[in-house]
Amino acid sequence: MSNISQIEKKIGIKFNNKDLLQQAFVHRSYLNENRGFKLDHNERLEFLGDACLELVVTEHLYKNYPNPEGELTNWRAALVRGTTISKVAKTLGFEDYLLLSKGESKSIGKARELILANTFEAVLGAIYLDQGYEVADKYLKKYLIPHLKEIISKQLYQDSKSRFQEVVQERTGITPVYKLEKEEGPDHAKTFVMGVYIEDKKMAEGVGASKQAAEQEAAKMALEVWEKDI
């Protein structure tokens, strides 16, 4: 359990039930190769953590910003998206404690980002169960919510897909089209690759855990290409 005490030190929370924290780091693939392992995988904790994350962030935005609902929704989406929370998980060193199959342990890029984001939510779910809402709230205000300032100041909350369509239509009168290039992985952890096209010209590709996320990523990459070409 030495790993657990290390994680507790990193996040500054001492657990009553150490197994809850350990379970938060167990990926489904690990159990396929370690059938006698005493704990379940982390997907139920992730489910709970996702709901807790939405509530804490929503409450913080409501209490601290008088902005319209639409703006708050966009800010929240940017703060709780996988890319943001996976960065926080990486900063906290969660990657060192993941329990993965040999195959998954070699995953990089978007696949690893998704695993880290899910682990962050699972840890939050474990904190909520073991320590209650107030500790979960403090945890997010310490590690995640400080990223909100940058999201607002750099306008990172903008919807890349809408922005790209607006820019392209304004300059060419053409509406970008998104096509599924490929999908891979098991049903519980699929990744999608979407291409964005202007007429027959492919502008960029994006990868995500859903087609919508992959489209957003493709639009983000296409915006960068578009701005370089101008």
17-45 residue pLDDT tens:
999 999 999 999 999 999 999 999 999 99
Helix ranges, 154-210 (H)? 160-172
Q: Which pLDDT band, with edges at 50, 70 and 90, does 223 fall under?
A: confident
Q: Please identify which of the residues 46, 50, 104, 113 carries the catalytic annotation.
A: 50
pLDDT at 54 over 90: yes
Are 108 and 123 part of one and the same domain? yes
Measured CA angle at 184 (ends 214, 211), to 5 deg:
25
The residue among 122, 153, 184 that closes a domain is 153
Residue with tokens 């929240």: 76
- Residue 50 appears among annotated catalytic residues: yes
150 vs 224, which has greater pLDDT? 150
128-182 residue pLDDT tens:
999 999 999 999 999 999 999 999 987 778 778 887 888 888 888 899 999 999 9
> Model pTM?
0.74
Count of beta carbons in the 10 Å neighbourhood of residue 145: 17
Are 131 and 206 part of one and the same domain? no
Residue ranges making up the domain that contains 202: 160-229
Q: Residue 172 has what pLDDT?
A: 87
- Residue 229 appears among annotated catalytic residues: no
Rounded Cα distance, 21 and 126, in Å: 6
187-200 residue pLDDT tens:
877 899 999 999 98
Are 38 and 108 part of one and the same domain? yes
> Is 134 within 8 Å of 59 (Cβ atoms)?
no
Are 14 and 31 part of one and the same domain? yes
Domain of residue 223, CATH code: 3.30.160.20
Percent of the chain with pLDDT over 90: 67
Q: How far is CA 60 from CA 65, 141, 144, in A?
A: 8, 9, 12
Q: Please identify which of the residues 113, 121, 215, 217 carries the catalytic annotation.
A: 121
Q: Residue 229 has what pLDDT?
A: 59
